[in-house]
């Protein structure tokens, strides 16, 4: 097996809220290799979102190590974490999270703005990403002028435009109808086939069924980690 892209090594995450202390993740070990399509499943409160935050470098583990693409995330300051998120991670959120009143093209360009890429190159790459999700003809539309499915595809375009090491999708189909869900999952399949590493967090079994590997969480621990032959993939 190739060198893992992502390593969680005995990771704990503890939240302190006044008197009460909650252990949201407990001794989590996870390795993900380049090109994998991993679904993380679990009931609500199982620690999915906490795991997502840690994988996405939005939060740091209380204990343990997280190594992403050779970088030990532990001990990075805010500015470095922002740079890691910018270069290595592409987020897709349940509620789309596009910038309102800003056209699709500008939304897709945004990560490159923070990366300091020149405007001309930015626009070209953003158009290419929109093309990849089939929305090139909606580039000048604002989020309020797009359907939920279209908004989420814009979000996917934004996630892949910087060519990140990993695409992190948190319940990406949670706010979509079944038709859009199908299209979204097809899109993820295509991204997977083109070699992208995808971590998808979901509680829906039929969404997880499309992934090549399913990790199940319960009470902050990994309870199973199975490879599967995904339906619909090659």
Residues that bind another protein (CB under 8 A): 53, 56, 58-59, 78-79, 82-83, 85-87, 91, 93, 97-102, 110-111, 113-116, 158, 162
Give the shortest CB-86-to-another protein separation in angstroms.
2
Residue 220 near residue 47 (C-beta atoms within 8 A): yes
Residues 11 and 68: their CA atoms lie apart, in Å, by 14
Considering the complex, state which of residue 6 and residue 92 has its C-beta at the smaller distance from another protein.
Answer: 92
Which phi and psi (to 5°) does residue 94 adopt? -60, -45
C-beta closer to another protein: residue 119 or 205: 119
Least separation in angstroms between residue 106's CB and another protein is 8
54-9-11-79 Cα dihedral, nearest 10 degrees = -40
State whether residue 223 is helix, strand or coil.
Answer: strand
d(CA 80, CA 86): 10
Residue with Cβ nearer another protein (92 or 230): 92
Q: Is 24 exposed, middle or buried (0-12, 13-18, 19+ CB in 10 A)?
A: buried
- Cα–Cα dist 144/176, whole Å: 15
Give whichever of 60 and 209 is closer to another protein, judged by the CB atom. 60
- Minimal distance, residue 107 CB to another protein, in Å: 9
H helix runs in the chain, sequence order: 48-55, 78-88, 104-115, 119-132, 148-160, 178-193, 205-208
98 vs 214 by CB, closer to another protein: 98
User: In terms of Cα–Cα distance, which of 161, 162, 183 is closest to 172?
Assistant: 183
- Smallest gap from Cβ 160 to another protein, in A, equals 12
Task: Give the shortest CB-82-to-another protein separation in angstroms.
Answer: 4
Largest CA distance in the chain: 53
- Quick one: 75 or 116, whose CB is closer to another protein? 116
Nearest distance, CB of residue 67 and another protein, angstroms: 19
């Amino acid at each position: 097996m190739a060198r893992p892209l992502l390593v969680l090594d005995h990771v704990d995450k503890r939240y302190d809220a006044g008197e009460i202390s909650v252990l949201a993740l407990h001794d989590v070990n996870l390795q993900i290799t380049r090109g994998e399509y991993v679904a993380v499943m679990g009931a609500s409160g199982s620690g999915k979102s906490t795991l997502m935050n840690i994988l996405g470098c939005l939060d740091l583990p209380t204990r343990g190590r997280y190594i992403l693409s050779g970088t030990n995330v532990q001990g990075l300051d805010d500015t470095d974490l922002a740079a890691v998120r910018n270069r290595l991670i592409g987020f897709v959120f349940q509620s789309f999270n596009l910038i309102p009143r800003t056209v699709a093209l500008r939304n897709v360009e945004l990560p490159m703005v923070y990366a300091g890429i020149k405007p001309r190159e930015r626009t070209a790459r953003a158009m290419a990403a929109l093309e990849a999700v089939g929305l090139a003809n909606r580039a000048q539309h604002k989020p309020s002028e797009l359907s939920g499915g279209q908004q989420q595809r814009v979000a996917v375009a934004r996630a892949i435009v910087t060519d990140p090491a990993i695409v992190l999708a948190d319940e990406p189909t949670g706010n979509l109808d079944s038709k859009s869900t199908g299209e979204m999952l097809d899109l993820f399949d295509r991204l997977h086939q083109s070699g992208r590493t995808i971590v998808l967090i979901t509680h829906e079994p039929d969404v997880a069924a499309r992934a090549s590997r399913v990790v199940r969480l319960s009470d902050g621990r990994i309870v199973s980690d199975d490879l599967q032959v995904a339906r619909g993939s090659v």
